[in-house]
């Protein structure tokens, strides 16, 4: 009989009217790790949004899992901690290019990867352990995945200007200051960053408003860059657990502008409470100065009899 991943056989003996024939039915549950799965070629398949269980046979054991995604979504992956193991979670695309790596806890701790952006295709998850003295081959861990709609959500990886996520002006994006460390950066001390870009397609002058909501434990910093990577503005008015807000910031179209959102302090994040990033783009009416206007080329145009500004 053909079996499906995560299914077991339940045998039911019928009554004498069926002459004692044995009928078998599949009963499906979480996928069980199929050893060997120490490489992507041998990866155990998990249904998108499903669960899997496995064991770490030795300190250097690696468990690979394969996910065949049907369409665009945002995925959360969690693994429950077990004795002796210091888990590391890694997320790969179909070409085995590592997109995200999470290692936020120590021995016995849970790990979770949030806001992983996926589209139709193949992805891989790798469960590994970095505690060289680990010895717990008998205890089972559980790996859980969850899929949610991609609309209005952060889609990792968006940790650099090269991988920034395009957002529509006037929209809302929910994301997380998580993980706290950016483990795939060339800088071993690099903290997590979230990059977004806004396209201003029409020519003219516009005012950009941005709100980043408050998140407990996080002191947020919001930055704005032009298309050449030049920093135009940095906001750090709020403290820990407070948001940041930018009002009436002048931008010239057409053009692309990048937003960088990060935690001020290293190793601080919050996987439980998301941030809301709200943007708004309004036509410039000429009643106020057009910031930034610190250089002659950026001079505010005078279209009215009077104009308000600040020094």
Peptide bond into 291 cis (omega under 30): no
- Copy the structure tokens of residue 184: 């795939």
Percent of the chain with pLDDT over 90: 79
Taking a C-beta distance cutoff of 8 angstroms, is the pair 208, 196 a contact?
no
pLDDT higher than threshold 50 for residue 59:
yes
Could you tell me if 217 and 270 are in contact, meaning their C-beta atoms sit under 8 angstroms apart? yes
Residue 296 CA to residue 311 CA, distance in Å, equals: 16
pLDDT tens digits for range 168-205: 999 999 999 999 999 999 998 999 999 999 999 999 99
Q: Domain coordinates of the chain in residue numbers?
A: 1-27, 33-148, 161-298
What is 161-298's CATH topology?
A: Jelly Rolls (2.60.120)
Contact, 279 vs 212, CB < 8 A?
A: no
pLDDT category at 22 given cuts 50, 70, 90 is very low
Alpha carbon 97 to its chain's center: 16
Average pLDDT over residues 77-96: 98
Give ∠ CA 129-134-138 in degrees, rounded to 5. 95
Pair 64, 42: CB distance under 8 Å = yes
214, two tokens: 């408050």
Is the pLDDT score of 18 beyond 60? Answer: no
- pLDDT, position 32: 78
Asked if the domains at 33-148 and 161-298 fall in one CATH topology, the answer is yes
Beta strands in the chain (DSSP E): 7-13, 22-28, 31-32, 44-46, 51-54, 63-69, 73-79, 87-92, 98-102, 111-118, 121-129, 141-148, 165-167, 172-177, 193-212, 220-225, 231-235, 244-263, 270-283
> 33-148 architecture in CATH?
Sandwich (2.60)
């Amino acid at each position: 009989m053909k079996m499906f991943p995560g299914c077991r056989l339940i045998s039911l003996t019928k009554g004498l009217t069926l002459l004692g024939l044995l009928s078998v039915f599949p009963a499906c549950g979480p996928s069980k790790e199929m050893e060997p799965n120490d490489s992507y070629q041998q990866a155990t398949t998990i249904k998108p949004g499903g669960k899997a269980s496995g064991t770490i046979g030795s300190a250097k054991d690696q468990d690979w899992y394969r996910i065949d995604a049907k369409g665009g979504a945002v995925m959360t992956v969690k693994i429950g901690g077990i004795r002796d193991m210091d888990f590391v979670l890694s997320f790969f695309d179909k070409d085995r290019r590592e997109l995200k790596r999470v290692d936020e806890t120590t021995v016995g701790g849970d790990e979770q990867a949030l806001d992983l952006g996926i589209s139709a295709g193949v992805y891989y998850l790798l469960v590994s352990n970095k505690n060289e003295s680990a010895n717990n081959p008998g205890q089972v861990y559980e790996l859980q995945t969850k899929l949610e709609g991609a609309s209005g959500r952060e889609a990792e990886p968006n940790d650099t200007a090269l991988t920034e996520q395009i957002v529509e002006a006037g929209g809302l994006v929910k994301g997380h200051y998580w993980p706290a460390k950016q483990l795939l950066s060339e800088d071993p001390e690099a903290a997590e960053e979230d990059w977004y870009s806004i396209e201003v397609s029409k020519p003219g002058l516009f005012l950009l408003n941005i709100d980043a909501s408050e998140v407990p434990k996080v002191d947020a910093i919001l930055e704005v860059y032009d298309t050449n990577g030049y920093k135009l503005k940095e906001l750090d008015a709020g403290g820990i657990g407070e948001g940041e807000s930018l009002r009436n910031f002048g931008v010239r179209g057409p053009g692309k502008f990048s937003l960088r959102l990060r935690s001020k302090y290293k190793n601080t994040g919050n996987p439980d409470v998301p941030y809301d990033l709200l943007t708004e783009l309004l036509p410039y009416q000429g009643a106020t100065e057009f910031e930034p206007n610190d250089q002659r080329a950026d001079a505010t145009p005078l279209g009215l009899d009077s104009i308000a500004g600040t020094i």
